[in-house]
């Protein structure tokens, strides 16, 4: 059951999307539907005011589970910083601001604070929360933190990083049939949203044939998705990085595993109040809609954007490579209860059945050639 305010918000969001569908002649490709559901001004999931992260929100993320995640990311940043002069960090999609706070606290302990910590986030509401959290936890560092409306234009050295942002980029959905490829979109059936397939345009049909070559053996009606925006978006948010590293964390797979025949309905995952579903047509404006990341596409995008793909590994191996066990000891000090709590959190971050294998870390380098501890234990680049 929705409370009154949520029901009213969702009704406004639904009506807005229905008007857009009507204006487009009764059908919108899923990519446009997902964009509206997540980003329609004031109404989309990320543009509206819902809490989103943490226990009282819809889903939880690695930085929300434990400060150990941010501590390890900070160690990886510190390693890169040693090779650079006056480095800065650009974080994209900073959520509650916890990752930023944990990274900055650990870098301060190491005496390696960045010149600037910029945050680029589409959500005005989350930006306010980030500001409040950082003002509470790190008031003396706040002058280094800035919120951007677009990627920096001036070239800078340092790090671009994002945890669980790529999975929110709108994806196109397709259906594979012997007679041709269809694009899944959304129409109206008795005033409710309904899936409607239409013949795909030639660009989409060609893109799907490439995916078929990777996955192979699809049945009639096999449906999945891909993210046409990944190359342009990643290029846009990393283009001003002159020298340094780009760190991506997200759940996903190399292309040939992503498009295996048995995954015949794609990877859409929706989150509403910690309930997971695969139906993006409900709770519009109230639920998060995500798709798994095709890491092969991300690797291709890195080369197109002028970077070297320097590492690809699981979240568990990334954290282990950076010494999460030592971080646990340091963070707990002599407090055995705190150590036990941290050990429990580390299990959630690292166990294969939890986040350890599903979540991956990828790093791109520009102007640098150096080993990176987070990527040394397990190199999965050959799987891409
Ligand atoms: C799933 S949350 C992850 C938050 C945080 N990184 C974490 O791990 O807890 C996605 C974040 O990305 C932001 N976001 C979504 N799409 C974005 C985009 N296209 N550009 C910048 N930020 C975006 C959201 O507002 C939110 O802060």
pLDDT of 54 above 80? no
Neighbour-count burial of 254, counting CB atoms closer than 10 A to its CB (0-12 exposed, 13-18 middle, 19+ buried)? buried
Which residue has a Cα nearest atom 7 of ligand 1?
Answer: 95
Lowest average pLDDT, out of 1-15, 109-123, 218-232, goes to: 1-15
**Ligand 1 within 6 A of CB of 251:** no
**Ligand 1 within 6 A of CB of 46:** yes
Angle between helices 324-332 and 336-350 (to 10 degrees): 150
Q: How confident is the model at residue 159 (pLDDT cuts 50, 70, 90)?
A: very high
Q: Is 277 helix (H, G, I), strand (E, B) or coil?
A: strand
Q: What is the pLDDT of residue 5?
A: 82
| 199 beta partners | 182
Q: CA–CA separation, 97 vs 194, rounded Å?
A: 36
Average pLDDT over residues 330-355: 96
pLDDT of 49 above 70? no
Mean pLDDT, the chain, as a whole number? 95
**Ligand 1 within 6 A of CB of 224:** no
Q: What is the pLDDT of residue 51?
A: 66
Q: CA–CA separation, 318 vs 311, rounded Å?
A: 10
Q: What is the pLDDT of residue 187?
A: 97
Summarised one tens digit per residue, pLDDT across range 100-155 is 999 999 999 999 999 999 999 999 989 999 999 999 999 999 999 999 999 999 99
Summarised one tens digit per residue, pLDDT across range 22-42 is 999 999 999 999 999 999 998
Alpha helices in the chain (DSSP H): 4-23, 30-39, 62-65, 67-81, 98-109, 124-137, 202-215, 230-238, 255-258, 295-304, 315-321, 324-332, 336-350
CA of residue 121 to ligand 1 center, whole Å = 6
Q: What is the pLDDT of residue 7?
A: 85
Half-sphere exposure of 33 (CA within 13 A, CB side): 28
Average pLDDT over residues 223-230: 97
CA of residue 337 to ligand 1 center, whole Å = 32
Mutating to test ligand 1, I would choose from 118, 165, 250 the residue with most ligand atoms within 8 A of its C-beta, which is 165
Q: What is the pLDDT of residue 4?
A: 84
Q: What percentage of the chain reaches a pLDDT higher than 90?
A: 87
Q: CA–CA separation, 73 vs 54, rounded Å?
A: 20
pLDDT of 172 above 80? yes
Q: How confident is the model at residue 57 (pLDDT cuts 50, 70, 90)?
A: confident
Summarised one tens digit per residue, pLDDT across range 358-384 is 999 999 999 999 999 999 999 999 999
pLDDT of 47 above 90? no
pLDDT of 50 above 70? no
CA of residue 221 to ligand 1 center, whole Å = 32
**Spatial contact of 155 and 240, defined as CB atoms under 8 Å apart:** yes
CA of residue 46 to ligand 1 center, whole Å = 8
Q: What is the pLDDT of residue 211?
A: 95
**Ligand 1 within 6 A of CB of 237:** no
**Ligand 1 within 6 A of CB of 61:** yes
**Ligand 1 within 6 A of CB of 182:** no
Q: What are phi and psi of 310, to 5 degrees?
A: -105, -10
Which residue has a Cα nearest atom 1 of ligand 1?
Answer: 164
**Ligand 1 within 6 A of CB of 92:** yes
**Spatial contact of 156 and 240, defined as CB atoms under 8 Å apart:** yes
Residues in the chain: 384
Q: CA–CA separation, 92 vs 263, rounded Å?
A: 30
Lowest average pLDDT, out of 2-6, 87-91, 275-279, 344-348, goes to: 2-6
């Amino acid at each position: 059951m929705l409370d009154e305010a949520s029901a009213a918000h969702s009704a406004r969001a639904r009506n807005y999307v229905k008007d857009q569908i009507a204006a487009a002649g009764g059908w919108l490709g899923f990519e446009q539907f997902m964009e509206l559901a997540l980003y329609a001004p004031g109404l989309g999931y990320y543009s509206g005011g819902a809490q989103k992260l943490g226990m009282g929100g819809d889903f939880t993320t690695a930085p929300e589970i434990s400060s150990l995640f941010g501590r390890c990311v900070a160690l990886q940043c510190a390693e890169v910083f040693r090779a650079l002069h006056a480095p800065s960090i650009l974080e994209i999609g900073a959520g509650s601001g916890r990752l930023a706070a944990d990274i900055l606290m650990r870098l301060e302990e190491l005496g390696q604070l960045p010149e600037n910590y910029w945050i680029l986030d589409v959500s005005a509401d989350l930006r306010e929360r980030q500001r409040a959290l950082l003002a509470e936890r790190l008031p003396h560092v706040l002058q280094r933190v800035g919120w951007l409306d677009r990627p920096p234009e001036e070239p800078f050295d340092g790090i671009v990083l994002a945890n669980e942002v790529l999975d929110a980029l709108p994806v196109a959905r397709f259906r594979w049939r012997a007679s041709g490829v269809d694009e899944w979109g959304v129409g109206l059936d008795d005033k409710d949203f309904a899936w409607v397939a239409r013949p795909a345009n030639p660009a989409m049909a060609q893109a799907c044939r490439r995916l078929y070559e990777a996955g192979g053996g699809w049945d009639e009606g096999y449906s999945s998705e891909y993210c046409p925006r990944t190359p342009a978006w990643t290029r846009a948010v990393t283009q001003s990085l002159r020298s340094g590293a780009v760190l991506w964390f997200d759940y996903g797979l190399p292309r040939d595993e992503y498009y295996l025949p048995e995954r015949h309905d794609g990877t859409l995952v929706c989150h509403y109040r910690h309930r997971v579903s695969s139906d993006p047509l409900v709770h519009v404006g109230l639920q998060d809609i995500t798709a798994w990341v095709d890491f092969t596409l991300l690797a291709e995008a890195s080369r197109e954007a002028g970077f070297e793909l320097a590492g690809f590994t699981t979240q568990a191996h990334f954290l282990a490579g950076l010494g999460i066990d030592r971080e646990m000891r340091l963070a707990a000090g002599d407090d055995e209860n705190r150590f036990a709590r941290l050990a429990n959190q580390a299990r959630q971050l690292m166990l294969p059945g939890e986040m350890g294998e599903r979540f991956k870390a990828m790093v791109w380098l520009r102007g640098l050639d150096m080993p990176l501890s987070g990527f040394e234990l397990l190199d999965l680049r050959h799987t891409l």
